[in-house]
C-alpha cells in the first residue's frame, strides 16, 4: 500500500468559480467556493438541487461539460494545483488517486462487460498490473466491498446485479487503485434505505481501514448526520455555512441551514408542523446583490441586500455567510435544547 501522508489537507479548494456561459446569459453555478478536506475525513457538501454541488465535484477533476468553464481559483491536491496540470498528468490522478462515484450506477457501468473486467481495466491502466493479477485484484476489491460470492459475481454483467450491488461495484472500481480521496456524488439516491445503510457503513469501514478521505455530495442532511465529519451547506453556488456536522446540525448559524432542518419530518414528531422555506431558488444567471438567500429569508434586513456577505466565524472551524449569524445560532441552540432539533 502507498505510504499515506498525514500532514496538511489532502484537498484544498480555493475561491473556485465555475460558470456556464451561454450566448445571452452566464449561470454562476459555483461562485467563489473554498473548503479543505483532510486525510481520512468525510466532508459533506449538502444542498438542494441546483445549488452547484455536482459542479464542484466535476470541477475538482476538470470534467465540467460544455459550456461550463472554470473561471478561476485553485484546486490543490496535496498542494499541487489540478487546474494547472497537463491533461496527461491529470489522467494519472483521475481514477487512480482521486476517484469518483456517480449517482446512477446503472449508467456509469458499461453494460457489455462483466464487472470484474471493468475493475481490472482500471487496475491495469493505473497500476500496470498484467491481466491475471488485475483480475485477482478485482475479486479482492469485490470482497472488500462485501459483495456476496465475489469470485462468481466478478463474471456477472451489470444488469444481473441489484442497484445496491451495482453501487458496490462502483466503489470497488473507485477503490481498486487505492485512492486517498473519493468524490461521491449522491451515491445512494437510487438505493433503498436499508441498502443505503449498508453503503454508509461500508464508507465508514473504508475510511477507518484505509484512511481514505471522502467528499460526499448529498441533498439529505440525514445522511450527513449519519456519516460525515464536517459539512458545507450550499445555496445558489456558494457555501453558506461550514463546520463540524454536530455543530452545524445542533447550532446552525445560517437561516438557510435552519430552513433545511425545519423542512424535513422527524421520526416520532408529528405534532410540530414543518416549516417550508418560502419562495423559490434564485436564477443563477441574475443573482440579486448581497445575500442570495435574502429574498427567502425570514430575518433579512436592508443591509442583507447590499454588498458581499463575508464568511463569519461563529465557532471552532464553523463559518456562516450571514450578517446575523450569531443571533441565528443562539436561536438554533435554544430550540435544539427545547425540542431536540433546530
Partner 1 sequence: MSNHSASHRGDTLIEIKNLKKYFPVKRGVLVERHVGDVKAVDDISFKVKKGETIGLVGESGCGKTTTGRVITRLETATAGEVSFEGRDILSLEGKELRHLRRELQIVFQDPYSSLNPRMAAGNIVSFPLVTHNLYPGTQRDKRVGELMELVGLTRDQAKWYPHEFAAGERQRIVLATALASNPKFVFCDEPVSALDVSAQAQVLNLLRDIKAQLDITIMVVAHNLCVVEYLSDRVVVMYLGKIVEMAETDDLYQRPLHPYTQALRTAVPTVEVGKPATEIVLQGEIPSPLNPPKGCRFHTRCQAKIGQVCEGIEPKLVDVGNGHYAACHLVTGPSDEEMRAAGRVPDETRAAIAMAKRGEG
Which residues are at the interface with partner 1 (CB under 8 A)? 48-49, 148, 162, 164-165, 192-198, 201, 219-226, 245-246, 249-250, 259-268, 270, 273-277, 280, 340-342
Radius of gyration of the chain (CA): 21
Q: At its nearest, how many Å lie between partner 1 and the CB of residue 143?
A: 15
In Å, how far from its chain's centre is CA 40? Answer: 15
Q: Edge-to-edge strand order for the sheet containing 42-46?
A: 98-101, 181-185, 213-218, 42-46, 230-235, 238-244, 318-320, 312-315
Residue closer to partner 1 by CB (options 95, 292) is 292
- DSSP string of 180-231, one letter each residue: SEEEEESTTTTS-HHHHHHHHHHHHHHHHHH--EEEEEES-HHHHHHH-SEE
Residue closer to partner 1 by CB (options 150, 164) is 164
Q: At its nearest, how many Å lie between partner 1 and the CB of residue 283?
A: 12
Residue closer to partner 1 by CB (options 70, 248) is 248
Residue closer to partner 1 by CB (options 34, 198) is 198
Residue closer to partner 1 by CB (options 169, 250) is 250
Q: Edge-to-edge strand order for the sheet containing 68-77?
A: 26-37, 11-21, 68-77, 80-81
Q: At its nearest, how many Å lie between partner 1 and the CB of residue 89?
A: 38
Q: At its nearest, how many Å lie between partner 1 and the CB of residue 135?
A: 24
For the chain, helix, strand, coil in percent to 5 are: 40, 20, 40
Q: At its nearest, how many Å lie between partner 1 and the CB of residue 199?
A: 10
The residues facing 233 across adjacent strands are 46, 241
Residue closer to partner 1 by CB (options 177, 342) is 342
With cell 484505509, the residue in question is 210
Amino acid at each position: 500500500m502507498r505510504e499515506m501522508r498525514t500532514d496538511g489537507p489532502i484537498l484544498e479548494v480555493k475561491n473556485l468559480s465555475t460558470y456556464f456561459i451561454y450566448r445571452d446569459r452566464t449561470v454562476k453555478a459555483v461562485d467563489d467556493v473554498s473548503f479543505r478536506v483532510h486525510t481520512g475525513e468525510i466532508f459533506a457538501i449538502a444542498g438542494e438541487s441546483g445549488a452547484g454541488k455536482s459542479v464542484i465535484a466535476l470541477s475538482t477533476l476538470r470534467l465540467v461539460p460544455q459550456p461550463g468553464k472554470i473561471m478561476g481559483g485553485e484546486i490543490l491536491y496535496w498542494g499541487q494545483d489540478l487546474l494547472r496540470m497537463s491533461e496527461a498528468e491529470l489522467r494519472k490522478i483521475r481514477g487512480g488517486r482521486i476517484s469518483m462515484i456517480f449517482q446512477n450506477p446503472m449508467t456509469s457501468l458499461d453494460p457489455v462487460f462483466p464487472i470484474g473486467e471493468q475493475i481490472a481495466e482500471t487496475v491495469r491502466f493505473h497500476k500496470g498490473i498484467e491481466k491475471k493479477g488485475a483480475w485477482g485484484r478485482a475479486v479482492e476489491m469485490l470482497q472488500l466491498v462485501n459483495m456476496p460470492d465475489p469470485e462468481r459475481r466478478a463474471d456477472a454483467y451489470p444488469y444481473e446485479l441489484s442497484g445496491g450491488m451495482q453501487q458496490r461495484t462502483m466503489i470497488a472500481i473507485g477503490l481498486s487503485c487505492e485512492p486517498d480521496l473519493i468524490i461521491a456524488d449522491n451515491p445512494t439516491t437510487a438505493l433503498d434505505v436499508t441498502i443505503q445503510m449498508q453503503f454508509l457503513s461500508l464508507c465508514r469501514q473504508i475510511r477507518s481501514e484505509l484512511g481514505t478521505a471522502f467528499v460526499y455530495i448529498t441533498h439529505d442532511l440525514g445522511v450527513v448526520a449519519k456519516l460525515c465529519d464536517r459539512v458545507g451547506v450550499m445555496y445558489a453556488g456558494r457555501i453558506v455555512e461550514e463546520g463540524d456536522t454536530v455543530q452545524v446540525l445542533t447550532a446552525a448559524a445560517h437561516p438557510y441551514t435552519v430552513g433545511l432542518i425545519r423542512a424535513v419530518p422527524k421520526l416520532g414528531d408529528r405534532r410540530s408542523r414543518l416549516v417550508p422555506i418560502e419562495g423559490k431558488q434564485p436564477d443563477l444567471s441574475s443573482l440579486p446583490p448581497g445575500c442570495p438567500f435574502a429574498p427567502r429569508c425570514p430575518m433579512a434586513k436592508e443591509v442583507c441586500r447590499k454588498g458581499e456577505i463575508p464568511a463569519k466565524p461563529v465557532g471552532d472551524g464553523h463559518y456562516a455567510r450571514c450578517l446575523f449569524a450569531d443571533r441565528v445560532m443562539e436561536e438554533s441552540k435554544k430550540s435544539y435544547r427545547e425540542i431536540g432539533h433546530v
